[in-house]
Amino acid sequence: MKALVKIIPGIICLLAFVPAFSQTDNQAAGQKAWMDYMTPSAAHQMLAKSNGEWNEEMTMWMQPGAEPVKSKATAVNKMILGGRYQHSTHTGNVMGMPFEGIAITGFDNIKKVYVSTWIDNMGTGIMYAEGKWNDATKTVEFKGTGVDPMSGKELQVRQVMKIVDDNTETMEMFTTVDGKEFKSMEIKMTRKM
């Protein structure tokens, strides 16, 4: 009995420390997960290669079969928040009106996808899309949603961003209306030298 009395305090101490060890392991795992989530990766370095000033030739189709509307714009890309996101500002004229747009593009280290938001002075909503890099075609195919001002309904959109070379990129946008997808925009971007 005396031996048991001597052992019980030791067992109680051991049981008290087991959750603490477990918490320490969880804290270390949590810290590692956050570090992995917040540390810019090779995908972010790839985004940074598009930093700088660009000329844009834009072609838009308002509906399937419509005549194309052409315009020009410029873009300035820069990495922000310690290289985690690319901030892209677009300015120009579209259909005779001043145009301004802002894109924020990043790479979600946990989901393993590129993420993109778009806002401009031609609307009051935010378009959101996600996409994966295809090394064979040098493209990111984004899929997301926006709003159709005519119907007030959500629109499905698909964008294909292509890196042609260090100084040339393209973006094609496809919109789905009544279950049918059509090409609604094409932008050719050429780096200013």
Which residues face 79 on adjacent strands? 86
pLDDT at 12: 56
pLDDT tens readout for residues 73-88 = 999 999 999 999 999 9
- Shared domain check, 27 and 46: no
- The single residue listed with the structure tokens 């005549």 is 67
Cα distance between the two ends of the chain: 88
pTM above 0.85, yes or no: no
- Shared domain check, 29 and 48: no
* Total of domains in the chain: 2
- Shared domain check, 28 and 77: no
CA dihedral sign of residues 91, 92, 97, 103: negative
pLDDT at 86: 98
Q: Which CATH number is 158's domain given?
A: 2.40.128.20
- Shared domain check, 97 and 21: no
Q: CA distances (Å), 117 to each of 43, 94, 98, 131, 182, in order?
A: 17, 20, 21, 12, 21
- Shared domain check, 74 and 5: no
- Shared domain check, 128 and 170: yes
- 84: which DSSP letter? T
**For residue 59, what is the enclosing H or E element?**
strand 52-60
State whether residue 111 is helix, strand or coil: coil
- Shared domain check, 46 and 21: no
- Shared domain check, 127 and 50: yes
pLDDT at 24: 66
What is the rounded CA–CA span in Å between residue 83 and residue 79?
A: 5
Full domain range(s) for residue 71: 42-191
pLDDT tens readout for residues 141-174 = 999 998 888 888 888 999 999 999 999 999 999 9
pLDDT at 94 over 70: yes
